[in-house]
Amino acid sequence: MAERKVTVVAEVGLHARPAATFVQAAAKAEGEVTIAKPGKDPVNAKSILAVMGLDVRQGEEVVIAGDDEMLLDELAAIASAP
Strands (E), the chain: 2-7, 33-36, 43-44, 61-66
Q: Which residue among 4, 6, 15, 51 is the active-site one? A: 15
- CA dist 61 and 44 (Å) reads 17
- CA dist 41 and 28 (Å) reads 22
Average pLDDT over residues 3-22: 94
Domain count, the chain: 1
Give the structural domain span for 7: 2-79
Q: Is 62 a catalytic residue?
A: no
pLDDT at position 19 is: 95
Q: What are phi and psi of 7, to 5 degrees?
A: -95, 125
The conformational region for residue 4 under phi > 0 = left, psi -120 to 50 = alpha, else beta, is beta
pTM: 0.94
Q: What is the pLDDT of residues 20-72, one digit of tens each?
A: 999 999 999 999 999 999 989 999 999 999 999 999 999 999 999 999 999 99
CATH number for the domain that contains residue 51:
3.30.1340.10
Nearest to 59 by CA among 2, 1, 6, 7: 7
Q: In the predicted model, is pLDDT for residue 16 greater than 90?
A: no
Average pLDDT over residues 15-24: 94
